[in-house]
Structure 1
Amino acid sequence: MIHYAMTFALACFGFALILNLYRVFRAPGVPDRVLALDTMVINTIALLTLLGMIEGTTVYFEASLLFAMVGFVSTVAYAKFMLRGDIIE
C-alpha cells in the first residue's frame, strides 16, 4: 500500500514540476519566475527523496542535499541581483 502512495506522490510532484515550468515561461514578472524556479527546486528535492525511499538507497538523499544547497545559493544570488543589479560587490 505504501508503494502505491509513493508512486502517487511521484506523479503529483512530477505534475507540479510541469506546472512550475509553465509558470517560469508565462510569468508576468521576474520575481514570479524566480519564485517558480525556487518551487521547482523544492519539488525536485521531494522527488529525489521519494526515489531514495522507493529504491532504498542513500544516494538520492545525498543528491537531494546537494541540490538543496545549490538551489538555495542560486536563489539568494538571483534575489541579490534583482535588488542591487550586481552580485559581487
Structure 2
Amino acid sequence: MDTLTTDRQRLIEVINALPDEKLIELASFVEYLQYKSTRQKEVDNHKSSFLMSIAGLGASTENNISERDEDILKNEIDPVRGWSLKADNPT
C-alpha cells in the first residue's frame, strides 16, 4: 500500500472518530482548503499571462538607445518649468 493511500485511510479513521459537532468545523476547513487551492491556481495563471504580455517590451532593433533617450528627454523637459502636458502658447 502506498503512503498516499495509507494517509487517506488514516484521515478517514480520524474523521470517523470526531464528535458530530466538530464535523461542521471540519467541513468549513475543507471548503477553505479547496478555495485556497483554486485561488492559487488562478493567481499563478494570472502571473504567467502578465509576464508573457510584457516579455516583448524590451525588444528593439536598435543597439544603443541610451544617447537617443537623453536627447528626447532634453526636448521634452522645459528647463524652467519642468514637465508639461500642454504646450505654452503665449498670446
Same fold (TM > 0.5)? no
Determine which structure has more spread, i.e. the larger CA radius of gyration.
Answer: 2
Q: TM-score, normalised by structure 2?
A: 0.35
Q: TM-score, normalised by structure 1?
A: 0.36
Q: Which has the higher helix share?
A: 1
Compare relative contact order (CA 8 Å, sep 6+) and give the higher one, 1 or 2.
Answer: 1
